[in-house]
């Protein structure tokens, strides 16, 4: 014991030394704690309850003469007592067990109250003979079940189990010692051990330590030791170990036997356990004094030591240790807080003890790290850098790394700093700056072996414990390119790997091979970023990779390239246009090869737009504005030609034959462009697979007449087609074009001849031959009136009357014949009109004689009542039914006329239809005349209309 250090980790609390209240008159026989109170049992049969300040709460008479044992339950506010009551008969023992409900108070007198006694049990019966009680222990199982164990001086333990309050109980007996041996068989201590569903009971005598397995039926006894202990020398630890104190030592027992043993000299009068501490009241035989010691067994130190008077009872409540002396004085001892204990140790530089304490008491990690930091600071101040770093390493995760790093940067201890940074990375707590610093340590010290170990010792891709990009950047800056490439490749940082290959090492072929080995999606990303460099140095190989990415040649044999869904999953050539910013010919080659392999690409419109731009440009320069704007490289949305935005840096190789080469190249590209315009707009498609507006702009800007003519004709812009010939002053082509496009039988526009005649009329030169040919087609289809023809040609001073002489003669002859035909029609209609007027006048002025003798409907003889209509039809009234005002025979024809009239009136209100007919007709005057002839266009008033409508039918009846 003299080897153990002593510390004052405990102190007397605010209550400190005090006395049992005067209300407690009798001698204290037993005590218990729990639920925030201390319960005292006295030899006068009273039970007293004290609060935290050792003040008397209340007391009551529990037994007649003496309270021998009691226990305060934890789960329920029950109190179990054993004491002596009045002996009612000689056969019955005065000892009995009582259970009090402390929540239920009963009035005993005018000023006193006592808790309700819910059960009284006789301990001894015929099956359980009377003996002296030496110990009591109550286990609370699932409420309301209690297990009460009573130790006796005859070596037996009486057990009562069940609902004590309702007396639904079972009794059984456990034999600890052989009854034949009358010496030292008294049960001195009991202890329950609960491990899940397993329930065990420790029992000690002066001669043995036994363990009963209560879950077995009958309970099975196992002897753990042949040496026991006395009364008050038994306790249970928080790890369910039995603690017994003997003169020579304190022993710990587990289910399989004796455990650790701690040698403390002196008689152990009281044994207890408090928050991992062993409590002992030891009597020193040499000086006769009693010492109360608190042992920290884990750290092998005495946390508190105090000389005390005779201690009768020891309790733990309110986080304190309560000692009750024989003279009824008390001593309350509590543990100091962790900060106070550590301050005490730090002042003595006992850092190892402080570390052991915080770890043994399961302090939080932050508190432990703080102790380790202070210990590290202490060692650092002593210039013991290696050991200081060992302590700092333990603080990783709680102490800010910059605190440690700064110390060892100042001390120029690169080895220790490297060790700390390595541990920081192992635990995955390193930042980018830490990675940078560690790699700098390796590179500064030229420690390639450690650098290799740090970089290459990781197992599995993506499991690096450092920031990958930082490691790559530092290794690259320090010239360790192979290390940087290893990290980049292992971490899947393909961009970094290629950046090093291309920018630092100029290994273009290796970069292309690496890209080929990547997944298609990743290869596409890397090509977008580094394609410009690769095209500069390896254009043909780069194009092959791009074609494989965009077409997946390996799948072409399976017909995958014809699947639109599959193609939509592949990269589009449009995504890679920017990498050809300085190599338009390579771009043209790439797109041509792509279109030859893929016929139905989702991006074929954009591809054709770009190819047209390449084909039709006069000088094959490539724009750089796409790099500046970062926008759509095609420029189709803005309708601005892509190739006209900027000039490429590419120049022709040879200067001598530059013009010849340019002309030949331009002609070849124009021919390709025309083929593309025609092939991408087949006759079965309404719209082409390129941007028509962009194509027209490109043709106009580059003076590509053939392309313009094709586009205008496909778009049915015939007037624009002939405008091109007019601008070129190509009369022969102009007339041939009008012959092809002006034929109405083939869907052409005959009005083109009118435009052509106007062109020749404003030409200002002699074009008599052409005008005669034009007039032939105008006369054939009757496109223009002769007056318009003469007015149009009169503007050209170079034309004579002989040009139109024959045309005018023929037209006059035709007009004369038409006039004669119209006069004959007029005479005919006038005669018919006079006949109709006479008939109307006759109906209005003369009487009509009806002489029909038969009904028109039933053909029977006509009798009265009869109905005669002005149309000379007669009917029986019964044959007409409800329709007696309308002739059944003439009504359908009459209704048809009315419907036609209503239709004409409706059409008269439809102005859009009228003007549309006038506009679409060759002779608009004839349409207007027809409307006037039908009476649709007139000034007829509503009154006259109503009169006409009401006078359309005439009937007479009886």
> DSSP letters of 504-556?
IS--HHHHHHHHHHS-HHHHHHHHHHHHHHHHHH-HHHHHHHHHHHHH-HHHH
Question: Beta-carbon neighbour count of residue 108 at 10 Å?
Answer: 11
CA distances from 166 to 62, 97, 130, 459 (A): 20, 14, 24, 68
248 φ, ψ (degrees, to nearest 5): -85, -25
**Cα 911 from Cα 903, distance rounded (Å):** 14
Inter-residue contact 252 to 260 (CB < 8 Å)? yes
271: Cα within 13 Å, side-chain hemisphere = 25
Taking alpha carbons only, the member of 29, 20, 8 closest to residue 323 is: 20
Q: Please give the distance of CA 627 from its chain centroid, rounded to a whole number.
A: 34
Give me the residue label for tokens 């302590």: 391
Give me the residue label for tokens 């009284």: 120
**What region does 323 belong to: left with phi over 0, alpha with psi -120 to 50, or beta?**
beta
**Cα 413 from Cα 424, distance rounded (Å):** 17
Inter-residue contact 147 to 139 (CB < 8 Å)? yes
Inter-residue contact 299 to 311 (CB < 8 Å)? no
DSSP H helices, 864-941, are 877-880, 891-909, 911-920, 924-933
Greatest CA separation for the chain? 171
Nearest-10 Cα torsion for 173, 176, 182, 185:
-120
**Cα 163 from Cα 148, distance rounded (Å):** 11
Percent helix, strand, coil in the chain, to 5, is: 45, 20, 35
Q: How many residues does the chain have?
A: 958
Helix (H, G, I), strand (E, B) or coil at 584: helix
Give me the residue label for tokens 């397993």: 198
Burial of 79 (0-12, 13-18, 19+ CB in 10 A): buried
Helix (H) / strand (E) containing 765: none
CA distances from 79 to 33, 41, 82, 119, 236 (A): 10, 11, 10, 11, 21
Tokens in use for 767? 């074009």
Q: Which residues pair with 867 in a beta bridge?
A: 875, 957
Residues 6+ apart with CB under 8 A from 745: none
Residues 6+ apart with CB under 8 A from 952: 894, 897, 898
**Cα 230 from Cα 245, distance rounded (Å):** 8
Inter-residue contact 40 to 48 (CB < 8 Å)? yes
Give me the residue label for tokens 């022709």: 652
**pLDDT score for 1:** 44
**What region does 510 belong to: left with phi over 0, alpha with psi -120 to 50, or beta?**
alpha
DSSP single-letter state for residue 503: I
Nearest-10 Cα torsion for 298, 299, 300, 305:
-100
0.85 exceeded by the pTM?
no
Inter-residue contact 70 to 47 (CB < 8 Å)? yes
Give me the residue label for tokens 């440690």: 404
DSSP H helices, 631-761, are 658-679, 692-701, 705-714, 718-728, 731-741, 751-761
Q: pLDDT (tens digit, 9 = 90+) per residue, 207-235? A: 899 999 998 888 899 999 998 898 889 99
Helix (H) / strand (E) containing 119: strand 113-122
DSSP H helices, 729-781, are 731-741, 751-761, 768-781
CA distances from 723 to 407, 487, 738, 741 (A): 87, 67, 11, 13
Ordered mean pLDDT values, 10 residues apiece, the chain (958 residues): 78 78 91 92 94 90 93 92 85 88 80 85 88 93 90 92 88 84 82 90 93 89 91 91 93 92 89 93 86 91 91 92 91 89 86 82 78 85 85 85 81 77 82 78 74 64 60 74 74 74 75 76 78 81 81 51 56 81 83 81 83 80 39 36 38 53 81 84 80 86 82 77 78 81 72 79 78 78 79 81 81 86 89 87 81 83 82 82 78 82 74 75 72 63 40 34
Q: pLDDT (tens digit, 9 = 90+) per residue, 895-953? A: 888 888 787 777 766 777 777 777 777 667 777 777 776 666 655 444 444 433 333 33
Residues 6+ apart with CB under 8 A from 407: 380
Handedness of CA 347, 353, 355, 358 (dihedral sign): negative
- N- to C-terminal Cα distance for the chain? 151
**Cα 436 from Cα 423, distance rounded (Å):** 15
Domains contained in the chain, CATH given: 26-267 (2.130.10.10), 857-901 (no CATH)
**Cα 956 from Cα 103, distance rounded (Å):** 119
């Amino acid at each position: 014991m003299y080897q153990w250090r002593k510390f004052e980790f405990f102190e007397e609390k605010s209550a400190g030394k005090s006395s049992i209240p005067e209300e407690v008159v009798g001698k204290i026989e037993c005590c218990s704690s729990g639920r925030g109170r201390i319960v005292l049992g006295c030899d006068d049969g009273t039970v007293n309850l004290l609060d935290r300040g050792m003040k008397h709460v209340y007391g009551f008479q529990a037994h007649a003469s003496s309270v021998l044992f009691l226990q305060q339950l934890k789960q329920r506010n029950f109190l179990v007592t054993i004491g002596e009551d009045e002996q009612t008969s000689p056969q019955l023992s005065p000892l009995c067990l009582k259970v009090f409900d402390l929540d239920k108070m009963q009035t005993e007198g005018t000023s006193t109250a006592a808790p309700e006694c819910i059960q009284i049990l006789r301990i001894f019966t015929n099956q359980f003979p009377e003996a002296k009680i030496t110990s009591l222990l109550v286990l609370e199982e699932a409420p309301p079940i209690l297990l009460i164990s009573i130790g006796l001086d005859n070596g037996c333990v009486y057990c009562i189990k069940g609902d004590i309050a309702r007396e639904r109980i079972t009794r059984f007996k456990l034999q600890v010692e052989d009854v034949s041996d009358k010496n030292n068989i008294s049960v001195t201590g009991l202890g329950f051990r609960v491990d899940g569903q397993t329930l065990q009971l420790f029992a000690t005598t002066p001669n043995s330590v036994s363990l009963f397995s209560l879950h077995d039926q009958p309970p099975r006894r196992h002897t753990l030791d042949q040496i026991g202990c006395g009364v008050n020398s038994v306790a249970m630890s928080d790890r369910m170990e039995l603690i017994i104190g003997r003169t020579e030592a304190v022993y710990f027992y587990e289910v399989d036997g004796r455990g650790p043993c701690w040698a403390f000299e002196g008689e152990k009068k009281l044994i207890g356990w408090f928050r991992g501490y062993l409590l002992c009241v030891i009597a020193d035989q040499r000086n006769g004094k009693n010492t109360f010691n608190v042992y920290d067994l884990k750290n092998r130190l005495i946390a508190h030591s105090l000389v005390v008077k005779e201690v009768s009872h020891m309790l733990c409540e309110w986080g304190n240790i309560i000692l009750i002396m024989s003279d009824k004085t008390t001593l309350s001892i509590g543990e100091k807080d962790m900060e106070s204990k550590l301050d005490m140790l730090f002042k003595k530089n006992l850092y190892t003890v402080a570390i052991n304490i915080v770890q043994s008491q399961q302090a939080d990690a932050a508190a432990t790290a703080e102790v380790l930091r202070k210990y590290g600071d202490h060692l650092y101040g002593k210039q013991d850098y290696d050991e200081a770093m060992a302590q700092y390493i333990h603080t990783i995760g709680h102490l800010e790394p910059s605190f440690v790093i700064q110390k060892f940067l100042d001390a120029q201890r690169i080895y220790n700093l490297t060790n700390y940074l390595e541990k920081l990375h192992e635990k995955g707590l390193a930042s980018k700056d830490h990675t940078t610093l560690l790699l700098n340590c390796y590179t500064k010290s030229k420690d390639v072996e450690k650098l290799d170990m740090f970089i290459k010792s990781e197992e599995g891709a993506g499991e690096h414990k450092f920031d990958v990009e930082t490691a790559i950047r530092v290794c690259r800056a320090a010239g360790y390119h192979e290390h940087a490439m290893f990290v980049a490749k292992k971490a899947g940082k393909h961009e970094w790997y290629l950046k090093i290959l291309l920018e630092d090492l100029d290994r273009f072929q290796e970069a292309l091979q690496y890209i080929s080995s990547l997944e298609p999606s990743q290869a596409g990303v890397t090509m977008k970023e580094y394609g410009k460099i690769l095209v500069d140095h390896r254009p043909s190989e780069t194009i092959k990779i791009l074609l494989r990415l965009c077409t997946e040649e390996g799948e072409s044999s399976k017909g995958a390239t014809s699947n639109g869904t599959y193609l939509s999953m592949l990269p589009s050539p449009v995504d890679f246009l920017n990498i050809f910013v300085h190599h338009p010919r390579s771009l043209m080659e790439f797109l041509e090869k792509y279109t030859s392999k893929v016929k139905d690409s989702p991006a074929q419109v954009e591809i054709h737009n770009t190819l047209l731009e390449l084909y039709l440009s006069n000088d094959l320069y490539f724009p750089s504005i796409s790099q500046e704007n970062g926008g759509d490289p095609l420029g189709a949305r803005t309708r601005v030609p892509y190739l006209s935005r900027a000039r490429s840096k590419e120049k022709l190789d040879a200067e001598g034959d530059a013009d010849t080469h340019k002309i030949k190249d331009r002609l070849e590209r124009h021919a390709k462009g025309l083929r593309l315009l025609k092939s991408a707009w087949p006759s079965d498609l309404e719209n082409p697979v390129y941007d028509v507006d962009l194509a027209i702009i490109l043709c106009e800007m580059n003076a590509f007449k053939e392309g313009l003519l094709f586009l205008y004709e496909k778009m049915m812009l015939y007037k624009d087609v002939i405008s091109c010939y007019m601008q070129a002053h190509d009369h022969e082509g102009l007339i041939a074009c009008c012959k092809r496009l002006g034929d109405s039988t083939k869907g052409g526009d005959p009005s083109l001849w009118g435009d052509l005649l106007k062109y020749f009329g404003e030409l200002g030169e002699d074009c008599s031959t052409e005008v005669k040919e034009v007039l032939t087609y105008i006369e054939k289809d009757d496109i223009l009136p002769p007056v318009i023809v003469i007015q149009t040609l009169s503007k050209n001073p170079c034309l004579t009357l002989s040009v139109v002489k024959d045309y005018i003669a023929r037209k006059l002859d035709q007009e004369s014949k038409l006039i004669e035909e119209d006069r004959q029609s007029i005479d005919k209609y006038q005669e018919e009109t006079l006949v109709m007027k006479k008939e109307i006048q006759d109906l209005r002025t003369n009487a009509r004689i009806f002489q029909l003798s038969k009904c028109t409907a039933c053909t029977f003889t006509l009798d009265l009542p009869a109905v005669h209509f002005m149309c000379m039809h007669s009917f029986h009234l019964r044959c007409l039914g409800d329709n007696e005002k309308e002739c059944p025979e003439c009504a359908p024809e009459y209704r048809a006329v009315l419907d036609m009239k209503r239709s004409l009136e409706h059409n008269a209100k439809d102005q859009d239809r009228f003007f549309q007919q006038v506009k679409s007709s060759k002779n608009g005057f004839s349409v207007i005349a027809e409307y006037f002839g039908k009476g649709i266009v007139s000034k007829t008033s509503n009154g006259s209309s109503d009169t006409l409508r009401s006078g359309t039918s005439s009937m007479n009846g009886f």
